[in-house]
Amino acid sequence: MNIQELGATAEAMVADHKGLLAADESTGTIGKRFESIDVELTEANRAAYRGLLFAAEGLGNYISGAILYDETIRQKAPDGTMMVDLLKKQGILPGIKVDAGTKPLAGAEGETVTEGLDGLAGRVDEYVGLGAKFAKWRAVIDIKQPGIPSRYAIRVNAQALARYARICQEGGLVPIVEPEVLMDGDHDIDTCAAVTEATLVEVFHELYEQGVQLEGMILKPNMVISGKLNGSRAGVEEVAAKTIALLKRTVPSAVPGIMFLSGGQTETEASEHLNAMNGGSDNLPWTVSYSYGRALQESALKAWRGKVENIPAAQQALLQRARLNSAACEARYLAEVA
């Protein structure tokens, strides 16, 4: 592997207060989002929507990279331009989701493991040829009672994440390592903290055991946050303080950047939490940024509603959210302008 090249790409992904646009929704997931705005799930509509996002003029001022789905990295925008070329024109690095989704984990009822390692090296070679510079693999850790997550589920998912990361680095892609502890449920913030810490400790143990070069990867974790159904959810400052404290205990300084997932937060919540983390801690060993999907796209999707005449408004909505999150990377986000 070329660790210098991988490191340079990883550093570029977190440079200049920029973040990632997660546009790697599966066909099923984007179908649910289209259904919410009464847009038919067709290849043409998916291309039109992704195309308007990537062509938003000035997006590269706030977004360093975009995570694509397999369909999208091969797809053309309505004007005939390859999606990858739309991104490159704006100085945005193309990335690719390479996992095959979650499946039930044998021996652990109610828990899952992410699959997709079979044939991954060949797919990585193909995606590099299509222009990808980085990849993403998401592991899902759920909090349920009793006994979920099990140490077994955490360990199996950590092993898969590390194997994926090693294969990507050997093939020339920077791996985004994404162990997501879900915010579904009614658990409190301390439960989330305990599960997240156990998960990250196991993930970095496996990354070390499998020879992954930390300088050439990005971590995409959840924030330490109360469950969505908790009746007394922790406030912004508590989320920020507990998240940073936990990451300082678990994430080596060699990792160039931590790019948080939004994980079901509202657009405003995701920006406020990111802002508080960057404003409350000096001299962090890694850059703290964002890799958001819905928390960047929700307003744009609602503004578009499948109509050509709404494209400028949708693009402005996307640019506004990207601008606000970029400001949060500098601790300059102001809630009143959201």
Tens of pLDDT, residues 178-237: 999 999 999 999 999 999 999 999 999 999 999 999 999 999 999 999 999 998 999 999
Q: Read off the pLDDT of each residue in 81-106 and give the average, rounded to a whole number.
A: 98
Please compute the mean of the pLDDT values over residues 164-188 and round it to a whole number. 97
Active site residues: 178, 220
Q: What pLDDT shows up at residue 283?
A: 86
When pLDDT is averaged across residues 7-18 and rounded to a whole number, the result is 98
Q: Which residues contact 225 (CB under 8 A, 6 or more apart)?
A: 183, 189, 192, 233, 234, 239, 243, 263, 265, 273
Which helix (H) or strand (E) segment holds residue 29: the answer is helix 27-36
The domain locations on the chain are 3-333
- Using DSSP bridges, classify how beta strands 102-104 and 112-114 pair: parallel, antiparallel or unpaired: antiparallel
d(CA 121, CA 36): 37
**By C-alpha distance, which of 269, 318, 272, 270 is closest to 297?**
318
Average pLDDT value for the chain: 96
Q: What is the mean predicted confidence (pLDDT) over 254-265?
A: 96
Tell me the average pLDDT across 252-262.
Answer: 98
The rounded distance, in Å, linking the Cα atoms of 131 and 297 is 23
The stretch 41-60 carries a mean pLDDT of 98
Q: How confident is the model at residue 281 (pLDDT cuts 50, 70, 90)?
A: confident
pLDDT in tens, 302-328: 999 999 999 999 999 999 999 999 999
Give residue 338's pLDDT.
43
Q: How far apart are CA 243 and CA 275, in angstroms?
A: 13
Could you please state the CATH topology (level 3) that the domain comprising 3-333 is classified under: TIM Barrel (3.20.20)
pLDDT at 125 over 90: yes
Residue 336 has pLDDT above 80, yes or no: no
Please say if the pLDDT value at position 89 is more than 90.
Answer: yes
Q: Is a pLDDT exceeding 90 seen at residue 96?
A: yes
Whose tokens are 């070069």? That residue is 213
